[in-house]
Structure 1
Amino acid sequence: MNWTALLINLGASLVAVAVVMALTMAYALRRGEQSIVDTVWGLGFAVVAAVSFFLSAGEGDGLQRWVTLALTAVWGVRLGAYIYARNRGKGEDPRYAALLRHNQGKLVPYVIRTIYWPQGAIMWVVSLPVQVAMYVAEPIPALLWAGVAVWAIGFAFEAVGDAQLASFKRDPANAGRLMDRGLWAWTRHPNYFGDSVVWTGLFLLACSHWVGLLSIVGPALMTHMLVNKSGKALLERRMSRKRGPEYAAYVARTSGFFPRPPRRGTA
């Protein structure tokens, strides 16, 4: 592995993330809608993958580089398109509205500190497996294809879970009802579980070189955020307040993260 080239890539990707976050912030401030950053989240990873792909030309294995770029871009573009369609015309997300109510100073420094700097830093750390995978000169075929298989399982959970939820919400007959069908009967968060598995698969692509093992921090951080911070924990607090006993019963019968058959006979 060319260590100098990898270090240059790490720096260039950091600049790319900063540019993505700065442009997103400028547009969001102009629109008065900070939740735009959610749409850009997945696309930012695709940008990092593209930057790493071009910088790693002549350094990493060609097939592995193309596979890493394709998997990251497909995941990021699909996620961005889904969130854009879901949020279009709905105004500011309640999470960001609540956050902005605590602003006691100038808006720009506040949103940098509370939204764009944290999300940019997380994006860069989570993307480390993608960056390292681009510079692996001799990937182990079993790890390469295992990574693709794990990614595919995660992508299926995330995409199918999102599609099932969107279809459920479009049906007027489901107004006021709780989604507990399909994958949502096996885990309360098929999309978050799938997201975690996707990044585990991308991590496997980097593991043909020992330095790739260090990039476990990427999927570990993504999973931590999804489970304990901005994903599952935050959503479940809101749903518990909103739906009370109905949601408590759903929690009792349905796994919180890892899929399993729903418990039967749970009140």
Structure 2
Amino acid sequence: MQFLALGLEPMVFVPILRRPRLPGLAPNKFHETLKFDEPFCRSSVNAFGYAFGEDRKLNYLPLVGIAIGISLAMAIAWMIQRATNRSGWIDSIWAFTVGLAGAAAALASYGTFQRRLAIAVLVLIWSVRLGFHIAARMHGKDDDPRYRSLIDGWGSSAGWRLFVFLQIQAVAAVVLTVSVFVAASESGVFPGRLDMVAIALALLAIGGEALADYQLARFRGTVEARSQICEQGLWRYSRHPNYFFEWLFWCSLPVFALHGPAVIAASAAPILMYWLLVHVSGIPPLEDHMERSRGELFRELKRRVNSFFPGLPKGGAQK
């Protein structure tokens, strides 16, 4: 038995078992007797960056470069905001950054090439659609109300606090990128059943979010938008259907990795996105703004319509 040190703190040693030679049993026959167990061992060790039975270590160096690039991109977003006093481009820059970083991570992974390519394409489609949607929505506007509220609340310390806030967003982007990298590391035959389910889920999420964004944009162009709140289409069943489908997209990553231990790391993306959207930077500041601008009308909507997960409205939707 040998012990292999992983690059973790504190130091962790993983036992690597060498195949014994049993009397009267050829090595290939012994391999066949263990074939029910070895794939799991190989996948388990690969999840930490090692290939079973080989002296090959998974190269995480591309992820380091990608993480540095993400941090620099968000630093550029900060400089743009400070130079122009406009925060509307921040989320668009973040979406494009995650897309490029995720695609690079998928292609740099070590799974089946077709799977890596499929995941890279899906992440790019998500990124391009969301990035251009945010850019179009903010065109001609000075500020995103969520960022303006934060900046006003920070007062004289807004400069450095915004920089730290955007670097925290960079960390979140790195977590998403690592999840993409791990999901793309599966080396089974592509496309398998789980691959097809994952691709369908990702496309459904992208389409659902695009539809929700379109329905909201169409409502904002009507006279009713001046005094009412959108309850048309998907907005009848959730106060934030766009956020729901955004989260659903990242749920496709653990499905790609569902047949191996990599599913644990791939699940970090939907867990993180749910926490951010529902508890941190998504729903809370947006609904605070809605309560200030719509008052009792929005509070009445909150009593009838689910916040995140779609469901039938209580007592019927507003006509």
3-state SS of paired residue (2:156): coil
**Which string of whole-angstrom CA distances, capped at 9 and with x for unpartnered residues, describes residues 182-207 of structure 1?**
10001111100001100001232233
- In the alignment, structure 1 residue 249 sits paired with structure 2 residue 295: no
Structure showing the higher helix proportion among its residues: 1
1: distance between equivalents of 2:172 and 2:104?
A: 17
Percent identity, please.
27
User: Among residues 138, 149, 161, which one is paired with 2:188 in the alignment?
Assistant: 138
RMSD: 2.2
**TM-score, scaled relative to structure 2:** 0.76
Question: How big is the shift at 1:105?
Answer: 4.2
How far apart, in 2, do the equivalents of 1:265 and 1:22 lie? 46
**Cα gap change, 1:234 to 1:28, in 2 (>3 Å):** closer
Query: For residue 246 of structure 2, what is the aligned residue in structure 1?
Result: 195
Distance change >3 Å, CA 117–CA 83, structure 1 → 2: same
2:147 aligns with 96
Letter in 1 for 2:292: R
> 102, 105, 110: which one pairs with 1:49?
102
CA distance in 1, matches of 2:253, 2:177: 9
- Give 1 or 2 for the bigger CA radius of gyration: 2
Match of residue 276, structure 2, among 191, 214, 225 = 225
Distance 1:111 1:253, change over 3 A: closer
Partner of 1:159, secondary structure, is helix
Cα displacement (A) at 1:251: 1.6
Q: Which runs of 5+ in 2 are unaligned?
A: 1-45, 51-56
Residue range with higher mean Cα deviation, 187-196 or 24-33: 24-33
Q: 1:152–1:97: structure 2 CA closer, same or farther, 3 Å change rule?
A: same
Structure 1 stretch 128-137 or stretch 5-14: which is displaced more? 5-14
**Alignment correspondent of 1:111:** 162
Distance 1:206 1:15, change over 3 A: farther
The answer to which structure, 1 or 2, has the higher relative contact order (CA under 8 A, 6+ apart) is: 1
Q: 1:244/1:132 Cα in 2 relative to 1: closer, same or farther (>3 Å)?
A: same
CA distance in 2, matches of 1:88, 1:106: 24
Corresponding residue of 1:75: 126
**Which whole-Å deviations, capped at 9, do the CAs of 1:74-93 have from their partners, x for residues lacking one?**
11111111110001111022
Q: Distance in 2 between matches of 1:111 and 1:117?
A: 9
Report SS of the residue matched to 1:127. Answer: helix
Question: Take 1:232 and 1:105, find their aligned partners in 2: how far apart are those partners?
Answer: 24
Residue in 1 aligned with 2:58? 5
Report the TM-score when normalising by structure 1.
0.89
Which residue identity is paired with 2:132?
A: A
